[in-house]
Amino acid sequence: MGANDIDLILQQTVNAVALGGTYALLALGLAVVFSIMGLINFAHGELMTIAGYVLMYCGIAGVPFVLGVPLAVASAMLAAMAMERVAFRPVRNASGATLLVTSFAVAMILQVLFQNLISPRSQPVIVPDLLGHSITIGGLVIGVNKLFAIAATLVMLVALETFMTRQKHGIAMRAAAEDFAIARLMGIRANTVIAAAFALSGLLAGVAAVLWVSQRASVDPLMGFTPVLKAFIAAILGGLGSLRGAVAGGFVLGFIEVLLAAFLPSDWQEFREPIGLSLVVLMLVLRPNGLIPAATLQAQKA
């Protein structure tokens, strides 16, 4: 194996970390809400689309990208809280299936609104040229947007960890995730903690959306579908409801996808997706509750 091959492996590893990080943020967004109210929010992707459209409108209005990013993230947070208030609060105590169907309905309604009120076509988003550049470290060529993705993931993960372990609302959320009834008896308000969970998931969706949109430089009404699917797979792989599991699942999924695309023989490339998903299934056969199961999971182990 020559120096060139090692460079190639390192380079693909960087690609995998960047993609895995984005998946981790997405899966975390799903897991935060699931851990507290048992809802898999399939409208999570539409939060990303909203953030994407805000970035687009900022570009049209001439707002610099560095200001557009916090606006986009804030809009995703607000949209997540609005979604909870309008759609999920009325069905909060309903069965998991009802919650799931509600989230599908929210996603579809938003998609049709985007198609009819904004445009059925992709809209360009102005992304700074800097993000298209790359820097060379040793023999490695690393895209600036990859570095941003990795940095953003790290910052978010550290901030979330601090919030969850040190901060009052974070601790309340963990308590609610462990046992909602007891947490309420301890004086934690249900509305507050659920709204906070949605705000947090909106924040994660917003950051993921910025990374997602800056790669593709466009936003379209159906943009949210693929990321939420990947997030769902990653969250299941990691252990549904477990935050650390979601992060692990995201990174594992990112590594599987990039390494298969990079090193699978070309005749096999067409079967990349099924092979990747088979690996996920295999891991779930070995660890049915996910890589890092949620502490409160009632399911039987093996």
Partner 1 sequence: MRRILTATTALCLAALAAQADELKLGLATAQTGGLAPYDAPVVEGIHIAVDEINATGGIGGSIMIELNEKDVRSDTAQTSISVQELVDAGSEAIVLPCDADPSIAAAAIVDAAQVPAISTCASSPTLPLIGGDYVFANFPGDNVQATVSASWAFEQGMKSAFILYSPDSQYTTMPLYFADVMKALGGEILGEATYNIGQPDFSAVATQIAALDPVPDMVMTSAYEPDFPTFIKALRAAGYEGQIIGSDGIDSPTTFGLGNVAEGVVFTTAGHATAGSPLEAFNALYEEKTGSASETVFNAVGYDLVKVLEAAVMAAGSTEPKAIRDAMANLEDVQGATSLITYRGTTGMPVRQVSLIRVKGGERELVGQPSPNADLIPAPRMQ
Name which of residues 146 to 175 contact partner 1 (CB under 8 A): 146
Closer residue to partner 1 in complex, CB, 127/196: 127
**Which residues within the stretch 30-69 sit at the binding site for partner 1 (CB under 8 A)?**
none
212 binds partner 1 (CB under 8 A): yes
Q: Could you give the CA distance from residue 140 to residue 138 in angstroms, rounded to a whole number?
A: 5
Residue in the structure block whose two tokens are 């594992």: 252
Which C-beta is closer to partner 1: that of 44 or that of 197? 44
Query: Is 33:41 a contact under the CB 8 Å cutoff?
Result: yes
**Coil, strand or helix: which one is 142?**
strand
Under the binding rule (CB under 8 A), the answer on residue 278 touching partner 1 is no
Tokens describing residue 188: 């934690």
34-42, 86-94, 143-151, 184-192 -> range binding partner 1 (CB under 8 A) = 143-151
For partner 1, the closer of residues 67 and 130 by Cβ is 130
Across-strand partners of 58? none
Distance of CA 147 to the CA centre of its chain: 18
x/- map, 222-241, partner 1, by CB under 8 A = xx-xxx--x-----------
Residue written as token pair 């040793």: 138
The CA distance from 69 to 152, in Å, is 12
Residue closer to partner 1 (CB basis): 184 or 218:
218
**Is 179 in contact with 296 (CB distance < 8 Å)?**
yes
Binding residue for partner 1, selected from 42, 103, 202, 220, defined by CB under 8 A: 220
Residues 101-120 that bind partner 1 (CB under 8 A): 111-112, 115, 120
User: Measured between alpha carbons, how far is 170 from 7 in angstroms, rounded to an integer?
Assistant: 41
Q: Does 218 bind partner 1 (CB under 8 A)?
A: yes
Minimum distance between the CB of residue 159 and partner 1, rounded to whole angstroms?
Answer: 24
Q: Is 196 left (phi over 0), alpha (psi -120 to 50) or beta?
A: alpha
Q: What is the spatial distance between Cα 106 and Cα 98, in angstroms, rounded to a whole number?
A: 12
Among 36, 107, 127, 196, binds partner 1 (CB under 8 A): 127
In the bound complex, what is the minimum distance in angstroms from residue 80's beta carbon to partner 1? 21
Smaller CB separation from partner 1, 237 or 294: 237
d(CA 65, CA 59): 7
- Judged by CB under 8 A, the residue of 258, 289, 293, 294 near partner 1 is 258
Q: Which residues pair with 77 in a beta bridge?
A: none
Q: Does residue 29 contact residue 208 with C-beta atoms inside 8 Å?
A: yes
From 261, 280, 283, 292, residue interacting with partner 1 (rule: CB under 8 A): 261
Contact set for partner 1, span 3-22 (CB under 8 A): 4, 8, 11-12, 15, 18-19, 22
Residue 44 tokens read as 């999570």
Specify the DSSP class assigned to residue 189. -
Asked whether position 273 contacts partner 1 by CB under 8 A, the answer is yes
Binding stretches for partner 1 (CB under 8 A): 4, 8, 11-12, 15, 18-19, 22, 111-112, 115, 120-127, 129, 132-134, 141, 143-146, 212, 215-218, 220-223, 225-227, 230, 257-259, 261-262, 266, 269-270, 272-273
